[in-house]
């Protein structure tokens, strides 16, 4: 484990025990930061395994316990459950916290390709902000797979990561974390409403994944 960087927030909660949650929590733990893995219950098997594998600064429990624990909360759950998870965590516990939204509003109920379950004039990030009005929501990392999220250097060339949010300080905090992972210049798109763009990209990402047979790719803006 690396010594914790004093320039980064020290206490993190990752909501979600799946591939994305495990990747994010593992990367934070490798930096020596305190990481709480949150789930619906306080005895989740994968949460227990994460805590056992990552030393004394790692722990696990319920979403509500995680919200109490952390300065930064990472929302790494299925997008269809995101608002319910915020409700379980407790909007009052999330007030003032940086809430990093990694989710996508994908609906696979009609088969492939998926469609968005949000309307044309909203994003899931905006719904999450409405569900936790006191939280400082930042949308990022939703345009790529979880391995690229935490290790952008696995790709053959630098690519781009985006930030959307209404709180400039929260975006600066998230940008600092992303830079510590190797993202060279996170691109601030503006307010949280701009999250509609990156979320709308993801059904096409799914098609590209199917065409290529690998999830190891990402967007790169080529400027004149």
- Identify the CATH number of the domain in which residue 187 sits: 3.40.50.720
Residue 191 maps to a domain: yes
Residue 111 maps to a domain: yes
Burial class (CB in 10 A: 0-12, 13-18, 19+), 6: exposed
Residue 100 maps to a domain: yes
> Domain count of the chain?
1
Q: What pLDDT does 7 receive? A: 85
Q: How far apart are CA 83 and CA 101, in angstroms?
A: 11
Residue 56 maps to a domain: yes
Residue 218 maps to a domain: no
Q: CA triplet 182, 185, 187: central angle to 5 degrees?
A: 125
Residue 129 maps to a domain: yes
**Three-class DSSP category at 157:** coil
Q: What pLDDT does 58 receive? A: 97
User: How many CB atoms are closer than 10 A to CB 113?
Assistant: 14
10-residue averages of pLDDT along the chain (224 residues) = 74 98 98 97 94 96 96 97 98 98 95 90 97 98 98 97 98 98 98 98 96 96 94
Closest CA to 37 of 57, 92, 153, 199: 57
Residue 99 belongs to domain spanning: 11-212
pTM of the model: 0.96
Residue 4 maps to a domain: no
């Amino acid at each position: 484990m690396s010594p914790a960087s004093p320039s980064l927030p020290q206490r993190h909660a990752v909501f979600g025990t799946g591939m994305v949650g495990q990747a994010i929590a593992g990367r934070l733990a490798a930096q020596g930061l305190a990481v709480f893995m949150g789930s619906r219950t306080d005895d989740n098997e994968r949460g227990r395994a994460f805590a056992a594998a990552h030393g004394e600064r790692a722990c696990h429990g319920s979403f509500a316990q995680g919200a109490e624990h952390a300065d930064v909360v990472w929302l790494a759950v299925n997008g269809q459950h995101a608002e319910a998870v915020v409700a379980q965590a407790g909007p009052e516990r999330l007030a003032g916290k940086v809430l990093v939204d990694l989710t996508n509003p994908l609906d696979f109920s009609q088969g492939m390709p998926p469609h968005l379950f949000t309307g044309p004039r909203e994003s899931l990030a905006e719904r999450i902000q409405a569900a936790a009005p006191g939280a400082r929501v930042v949308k990022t990392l939703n345009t790529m797979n979880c391995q690229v999220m935490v290790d952008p250097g696995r790709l053959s060339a630098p690519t781009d990561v985006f930030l959307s949010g209404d709180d400039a300080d929260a975006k600066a905090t998230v940008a600092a974390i992303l830079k510590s992972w190797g993202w060279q210049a996170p691109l601030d798109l503006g307010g949280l409403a701009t999250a509609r763009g990156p979320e709308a990209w993801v059904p096409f990402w799914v098609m590209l994944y199917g065409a290529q047979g690998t999830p190891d790719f990402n967007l790169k803006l080529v400027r004149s």
